Every structure is written in C-alpha cells, then in structure tokens.
Structure 1
Amino acid sequence: MDLDLTGRRALVTGSTGGIGYAIARELAGLGASVGINGRTPARVDAAIAKLKGESAGGEVFAAVGDVATAEGVDGLVASLGSVDILVNNTGIFEPKPFFEIPDADWQRFFDVNVMSGVRLSRALTPGMVERGWGRVVFVSSESGINIPVEMVHYGMTKTAQLAVARGLAETVAGTGVTVNSVLPGPTLSDGVEVFLKQMAGEAAHPDLDALGRAFVAEHRPTSLIRRLAGVEEVASMVAYVCSPAASATSGAALRVDGGLLRSIA
C-alpha cells in the first residue's frame, strides 16, 4: 500500500492540539512537510517543538493565522505558498440548549467551522488542480448526521461541511484532486478531556476511560465500540485519505464514529 507523502506539502488547520495535532503527526510520519496552524505564534511554536520530538519523517513549519476570519485566511494563504494537502480541521463546540443560542453564536460557529474550510479550499484547491494532484479533507462529525439536541448549532455546521465537501469534489472531478469528509464520533480530544475532568469534580486523578465510557453509554448509546475514540484513531483515517493509496476515494463521508450511526450506508 502506497502511503508515502514524501515531497508533499500539507496544511492542517487547528493543529496545535487534539485531533489536528494527531493528524499533523501522522502526515509528517508519512514524509509530508506539514504546516502547524494556530492563532498565536507561542502555541504554534510549542506544538512544533513537541512534534519534532515525537515524529520522524517530514518537516514541520509554522502556519500562524486565525482561519475563522477572511483576513486571517488571506494572510495565511499569502505566507504559505502552494500546498498539496489541505485538512480543514479547525472547529469549536459548546453544549447549549437551542432556545438559548443567540444569533451571534450561530454566526460564530458557522464562521469557524464552515467558512474557514470554504475560504481555504477556494484559495488552495485551484493550485492542486493545476498540478494534477491534491487532497482536501474536511473533518466533520457524526453530529452532522445525528444532530445532537444539546448543540444543534454545532450539528448544523457539520452538516454544512458535508455539503461543501461533496460539492467541491464534484467541482474538481477528473483532475487528480480528491475531496472527502471524515466523521469522527465522540473522541478524547483536549476539549473533551477538560469536559470529562469537570464532570469528575473533586477527583484528583479521574479515570478518563471510565468517564468516557459512561458518557458514551448515556449520551451515545448506539456506539458499537462503547468508548471514546482516541485522536490517533481519527488521524489514521485522515492520513490514509491523504495518501496515494486513496486515489479512488472522493466525494465520500468516511466514518470513524465507532459504529454510532445506525445505518449501513
């Protein structure tokens, strides 16, 4: 299986921690040169230093910029040059009852979770088409299909990502550029770890595995693995989709949801 990304240049948004960091590490391990993206130089530099100590393979470089704004994307694109692989990973979530979500939150979630990927894909995909090879991946969520009642605004953005990804895949059909979505289920990312520790209250050393299993049992009972996924498990799927081995996969929504979604297609 050809997973070699030597000589390829990648950008992973929101990659100073969590799923994004794990994706960047996997791509670098396959030989890609990977841009680590975050809003501040300090966080990006810290992630790069950590990654250099963990990964052998491709180079990593700073890609500082707030991709939630048009200005931030413009500045990042201007400093980047061309890329062969774009992973639209940046995203935010927040449990909030529907009737308490103000207009500003709907707009903020759409700007961060959807428009970041729209703007970057619009700017960077044409170069991939010209060169005849490229990979665009949107990190969506099972919540884009199974809308969570506790955060409808988040689910809405993840559904929108699926639509954008499929439409872009249709747009670049036959060019050698593939566009796909990856749908993680509940995953032990940095934000979820904080959430679980808050649930544990006063416990000095909470058992995150047990807390995760309890959360899944109560809130995502259709999960077949009955636990939270690890960020590495999601990253492995993304890395495969970015590789030469996935050249016949485009326009797809690929699940890493632990079998949570109860359908066969």
Structure 2
Amino acid sequence: MKIDLTGKLAIVSGSTAGIGLGISKALAESGATVVVIGRETAKVDQALASIRQSVPDAQLRGLTADLGTAEGAELLFAAEPRADILVNNLGIFNDVDFFDAPDSEWTRFYEVNVISGVRLSRHYVPDMVKQGWGRVIFLSSESGVATPADMIN
C-alpha cells in the first residue's frame, strides 16, 4: 500500500537514529516534508544524509534543538510554527538502580519522556483541528508493558 503524504509537513522528535530515523525515512518515501530534530548538529546532518541516500528526492529540514526542554521546543515552534503530522518519539533511558536515581534524574526522565510530547502536542494540535486534518502519534516501547529490571526508570 502506498500512502501519499505530498504537501504534508511531518515533525518527528528523536529522529536522528533508530526508530525515529526509520519513521522519518518512511514519511519521506510517502512524500511528506520531514523535519529531523536532534541535540547535535552533526547527528542531524548525518540523519539527513542517510534519508537522502534512501530517498534522493526527499523534502527535508533539519533542526538542532533539545526537545526535552521548553527552550528547545520554542526553537522548533519558531522554525516550524505548524505541522500536519507530529510523531512524538523522544525518549531517554539510563541504566541506574531504582533506589539510586536521585529526584533530579526522575524529573529529567519525566520531562523528556512525557512532557516533551505533551508540550509539542499542545502547540500543534489546535492548528490541526482548525484545518480539519492532522495526525499525532506517541511512541513508546514494549518496556512499558514488560519492563526489564534494569529499565525501571
């Protein structure tokens, strides 16, 4: 099945590697203009090159920003004030014992893994509703259902 997303703008958080990069490639293959976002310019550039290698005519934009912070989200909103498709894929993990992780680390996990997607959705969804079309996807891992002992956070 071929989905035609020509003319649609897709924003994918956590898109410089792994599942986010794969989603970005698939969206580009379907004709969407894809915004690839990462905390390091070199990784953003590498992801853009990887997508272009697979999809030579891909319509891509890159942005260096930490979407786990309000400041990073504001950078995205300034660069891309609207979106048709939002894929909330951002997530972090640290191999730390449940009892040893300080409150600051738990707060950071929550900020990145939960609040970042909420923040982006609050910004982009109102325009999607107004235009009568939009898609928001929140990704997680199977660890949310069957959590390995070393991934309790």
Please state which band the TM-score falls in when normalised by the shorter chain. over 0.9
Q: What SS is found at the alignment partner of 1:100?
A: coil
Partner residue in 2 for 1:123: 123
Task: Sort the Cα spacing of 1:115 and 1:97 in 2 relative to 1 into closer, same or farther, 3 A.
Answer: same
The percent identity for this pair of structures is 49
Residues 27-78 of structure 1 show CA distances to partners (whole Å, capped at 9, x for unaligned) of 0001100000001222212211221111145401112211010111011111
Task: Sort the Cα spacing of 1:140 and 1:148 in 2 relative to 1 into closer, same or farther, 3 A.
Answer: same
Q: What SS is found at the alignment partner of 1:99?
A: coil
CA distance in 1, matches of 2:2, 2:30: 10
Partner residue in 2 for 1:17: 17
- Amino acid paired to 1:45: D
Q: What is the alpha-carbon root mean square deviation over aligned residues? A: 1.5
- Amino acid paired to 1:76: L
Q: What SS is found at the alignment partner of 2:150?
A: coil
CA distance in 2, matches of 1:112, 1:34: 21
Alpha-carbon contact 2:34-2:59 (below 8 Å) kept: yes
Q: Which structure would you say has the larger Rg?
A: 1
Q: What SS is found at the alignment partner of 2:37?
A: strand
Map 1:126-145; keep pairs closer than 5 Å: 126-145=126-145
Q: What SS is found at the alignment partner of 2:52?
A: helix
- Amino acid paired to 2:74: D
Q: What SS is found at the alignment partner of 1:86?
A: strand
CA distance in 1, matches of 2:57, 2:99: 49
Partner residue in 2 for 1:29: 29
CA distance in 2, matches of 1:124, 1:63: 17
Alpha-carbon contact 1:30-1:58 (below 8 Å) kept: no
Alpha-carbon contact 1:6-1:58 (below 8 Å) kept: no
Q: What SS is found at the alignment partner of 1:93?
A: coil
Partner residue in 2 for 1:158: none
Alpha-carbon contact 2:9-2:33 (below 8 Å) kept: yes
- Amino acid paired to 1:87: V
Q: What SS is found at the alignment partner of 1:36?
A: strand
CA distance in 2, matches of 1:83, 1:71: 19
Partner residue in 2 for 1:114: 114
Identify unmatched segments of 5+ residues in structure 1.
Answer: 154-265
- Does residue 60 in structure 1 map to residue 66 in structure 2? no
Map 1:1-265; keep pairs closer than 5 Å: 1=1, 3-56=3-56, 58-153=58-153
Identify unmatched segments of 5+ residues in structure 2.
Answer: none
- The structure, 1 or 2, with the larger RCO (C-alpha pairs under 8 Å, 6+ apart) is 2
Normalising by structure 1, what TM-score? 0.55
Alpha-carbon contact 2:87-2:139 (below 8 Å) kept: yes
Task: Sort the Cα spacing of 1:2 and 1:54 in 2 relative to 1 into closer, same or farther, 3 A.
Answer: closer
CA distance in 2, matches of 1:150, 1:129: 40
- Amino acid paired to 2:70: A
